[in-house]
């Protein structure tokens, strides 16, 4: 049976997850350079070992009210471009059997829901999130 691994993180006390295949690294938050006239959910750009990485504020992207400061950056790769998702905090990695307990949905940026060890995790659709509207 294939195993899926999900990186779980917090946005305003709720758990969200994204498949590990697309994830390169996780960093503490760092100073970013503002991108003039960009979409509001773009937090800026950073230099990651010579690569210019665009930071996407996940809460702004998902239109979640912000009260907490983002402390981590999840670096992911999509179509050979690197992005950084700014999130409140990292929870950990969970392992799942293929399609275990997953409720599929198709609403915007949300791919589905998973329940594991009594925790509710919202799986986000990275591709949609990182695609310009």
Partner 1 sequence: MDTSKYEDLFISESEEYIEQISSALLDLEKNSESTESVNVIFRAMHTLKGMAASMGYIEISQIAHGLEDVMDMIRGGTLQLSNELTDLLLKGNDYIDALVHKKNIDPGVIKSFRHVLESIKAGSKAFENTEQSKTANPAAPKIDPENSFTIEVIFSDDVMLKSARAFVVVKAAKDRGVFAKTEPDMDAVMREEFDKSFLLCLTSGDSANSLVEEIKKIPEIKDAILRKTEKKDETQEEKSGQRKDIKVSLERLDNLQNYASELVIARGRLQQIAYSTQNEELINALNSTSKIITNIQDEVMKIRMVPVWQIFDRYPRYIRDLSNKLNKKIDFIVKGRDIELDRALLNALADPLLHLLRNSIDHGIERSEERRAKRKKETGTIVLEAKRLKNAIIIEVSDDGKGLDTERILKKALERGLISEEHAKNLTQTDIFHFITQSGFSTKDEVSDVSGRGVGVDAVKSVLKQMGGSFEISSEKDRGTTFTLKVPLTLAIIKTLQVNVGSEVYIIPLTHIIETIDIKDEEIQSIMGREVFILRDQLIPIIRVSDIYKVKMNEKKTDYSIVLVEVDDSQYGILVDEFVEQSEVVVKSLRGMLSGIQGLAGVTILNNGMPSFIVDVPGLLQMAKVG
* End-to-end CA separation in angstroms for the chain: 36
Distance between CA 19 and CA 5 in Å, rounded? 6
- CB under 8 Å to 106, separation ≥6 — which residues? none
Query: Which tokens go with 26?
Result: 């996780």
Task: Work out whether 42 is an interface residue with partner 1 (CB under 8 A).
Answer: yes
Task: Give the residue with the Cβ less far from partner 1, 24 or 54.
Answer: 54
61 phi, psi to nearest 5 deg: -65, -40
Task: Give the residue with the Cβ less far from partner 1, 56 or 74.
Answer: 56
Task: Give the residue with the Cβ less far from partner 1, 67 or 79.
Answer: 79
Point out which span in 11-19, 28-36, 93-101, 106-114 binds partner 1 (CB under 8 A). Answer: 28-36
Task: Work out whether 30 is an interface residue with partner 1 (CB under 8 A).
Answer: no
Q: Which of residues 86-125 bind partner 1 (CB under 8 A)?
A: none
30 phi, psi to nearest 5 deg: -140, 170
Q: By the criterion CB under 8 A, which residues form the site for partner 1?
A: 31, 33-39, 42, 45-47, 50, 52, 54, 56, 78-79, 81, 83, 130, 132
């Amino acid at each position: 049976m294939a195993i899926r691994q999900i990186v779980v993180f917090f946005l305003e006390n709720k758990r969200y997850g994204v498949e590990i295949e697309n994830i390169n690294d996780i960093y503490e938050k760092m100073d970013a350079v503002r991108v003039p006239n960009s979409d509001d959910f773009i937090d800026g750009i950073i230099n990651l070992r010579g690569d210019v990485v665009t930071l996407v504020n996940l809460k702004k992207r998902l239109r979640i009210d912000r009260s907490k400061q983002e402390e981590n950056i999840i670096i992911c790769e999509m179509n050979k471009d690197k992005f950084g998702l700014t999130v409140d905090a990292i929870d950990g990695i969970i392992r799942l059997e293929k399609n275990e307990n997953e409720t599929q949905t198709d609403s915007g940026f949300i791919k589905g829901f998973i329940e594991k060890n009594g925790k509710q995790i919202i799986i986000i659709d990275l591709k949609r999130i990182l695609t310009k509207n």
